[in-house]
Amino acid sequence: MTPYAALALQNGGLNREQARELLQLPEAELLASATALREHCSGKRVEACYIINAKSGNCNMNCKFCSQSGFNSTDIEHYPFKSAEDLAAIIESWEPYPVGRCGIVTSGGALTDDDVEKLARYIETRSAAGKKHPRLCGSLGRLKHRAIERLKAAGMTRLHHNLETNESFYPNVCTTQKWRDRLDTVHQAREHGLSVCCGGLFGLGESWEDRISFALELREEGIRNIPMNFLIPHPGTPMAGSPVMPPEEALRIIALFRHIIPDAILRICGGRVSVLKERQADMFAAGANAFMTGNYLTVAGETFEHDAAMLRRAGMELVDEL
């Protein structure tokens, strides 16, 4: 066990000053320490999920990075909430693969009451047919109590709602909603007994201090399922001219979060292909123990066959759930 890994385990994660020191390590030492923590947390076991873009475009939020924002002009497909038949067809196409979770993702500030009811009925239909796999998650915007209650009663097990970045930097990213409003949805999901998946997006112009603050905020909230995304500079968005993050920087961010929240499930999602490139397998050395496979919302990802081969080469074992 490396000194920083031992310190993280002893204290439930590094503090701010220790995190700053950690970032000064050469990459080999940093990744060795993150690997030790990941192996202590989950061994060589990792879990996978996939998502369905169930409602695309025309979002009324002005997030500067987002290809689906109605304030931006990215050339993407726009469509309303998918039918139950379309959702079923996509999920059935994944049935041959050992992927434990499916996230149903919709654009917009919040899913409408009518669409919440459509989704709830679809989940109930699956349950009535005896289909318990994959477990269904929802990334459905700022849902309120009644909608969360309805979806949980139908059989949804987890709500995904990213905070995107730390509280103080968030106004640089979006002004049509507040960071605390997003956090309120996370709180409501927990109040109703749903597990929560909550993380963010890196490469928005935030500093390393912002990244440390974000990890500390997530730890303070007791969040342990953390999706980590990396900016894809979409044409037609205010961030179109942003540079693609170097893989070395992305790996350092993953390692940083592993040391601040040592028992977390760190799930590498959007931007994995374009940012990590040939170093995708190194995300496990950096501390990741989960990932998203398949396509992202408006960008192609990797096939499951590609990712299964990557896992074999890295000596990792895919499990249904950590």
Q: Can you name the residues that pair with 137 across neighbouring β-strands?
A: 103, 158
CA angle at residue 243 from 174 to 262, to 5 degrees?
A: 70
The answer to whether the annotation marks 45 as part of a ligand binding site is: no
Is 267 a known ligand-binding residue?
A: yes
- φ, ψ at 229 (rounded to 5°): -115, 155
Tell whether residue 102 is among the known ligand binding residues.
no
Let me know: does 152 contact 193? Beta carbons within 8 Å.
yes
User: Is 41 flagged in the annotation as binding?
Assistant: no
Is 63 annotated to bind a ligand? Reply is yes
Helix residue spans in 43-105 (DSSP H): 84-94
Q: Is 59 annotated as a binding-site member?
A: yes
- Tell me how far apart the alpha carbons of residues 188 and 63 are, in angstroms, rounded to a whole number: 23
> Whose structure tokens read 């990557």?
310
Distance separating alpha carbons of residues 208 and 78, to the nearest angstrom? 35
From residue 174, how far is each of 170, 177, 181 by CA, in Å?
A: 6, 7, 12
- Binding-site members for [4Fe-4S] cluster are 59, 63, 66
- Binding-site members for [2Fe-2S] cluster are 137, 197, 267
- Binding-site members are 59, 63, 66, 137, 197, 267
